[in-house]
């Protein structure tokens, strides 16, 4: 049996609403596979059009595409506003910024910080550092990273 005929029979059987709902599902899966926090909003738009077609099955294709475009814009704008008002915090916010993940780390002064500069050890590597006067061997906390230089302050206590 020809697989294209089977696929064509399946698509004609599910109707336009099913096609939009399948598109929404595929877009949702694509968002999971390639996270970018964008396709999920387009998937919501496709799902809205699919659900609308359940109520209005004779909606012309031009109206479907127009509704999909309009709902895509609306959902993306809602998403942008959401992420502006509720920004991602914690480790996920610094996922693509390795230097930012160093902030808060405890380091050991390898070469005394004198006149504002020195060297610290973090993990198995040594980094140039800036901060207040600190002798060799003391612990400090990274408070910022500036062009590959760790900005440190002494640990309290």
CA atoms of 104 and 102, how far apart (whole Å): 6
pLDDT of residue 58: 87
Confidence of residue 157 (pLDDT cuts 50, 70, 90): very low
Could you count the other beta carbons within 10 Å of the beta carbon of residue 108? 13
**pLDDT tens sequence across 2-33:** 655 555 555 555 677 888 899 899 998 988 88
| 95 three-class SS | coil
pLDDT reported for residue 31: 86
Q: Which residues are within 8 A (CB) of 3 and not within 5 positions of it... i.e. 6 or more apart?
A: none
| Confidence category of residue 87, pLDDT binned at 50, 70, 90 | confident
Assess contact for 95 and 88: CB atoms under 8 A. no
Residues 37, 79: Cα–Cα separation, whole Å = 8
Res. 57: pLDDT tops 80: yes
Give the pLDDT confidence score for residue 48 in this predicted structure: 94
């Amino acid at each position: 049996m020809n697989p294209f005929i089977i696929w064509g029979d399946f698509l004609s059987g599910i109707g336009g609403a099913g096609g939009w709902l399948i598109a929404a599902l595929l877009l949702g899966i694509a968002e999971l596979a390639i996270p970018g926090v964008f396709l999920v909003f387009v998937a919501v738009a496709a799902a809205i059009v699919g659900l609308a077609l359940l109520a209005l099955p004779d909606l012309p294709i031009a109206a479907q595409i127009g509704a999909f475009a309009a709902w895509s814009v609306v959902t993306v704008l809602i998403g942008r506003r959401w992420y502006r008002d509720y920004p991602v915090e914690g480790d996920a916010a610094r996922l693509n910024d390795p230097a930012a993940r160093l902030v808060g780390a405890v380091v050991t002064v390898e070469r005394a910080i004198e006149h504002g500069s020195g060297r610290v050890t973090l993990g198995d590597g040594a980094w140039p550092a800036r901060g207040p006067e600190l002798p060799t061997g003391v612990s400090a906390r990274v408070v910022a990273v500036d062009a590959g230089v760790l900005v440190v302050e002494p640990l309290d206590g």
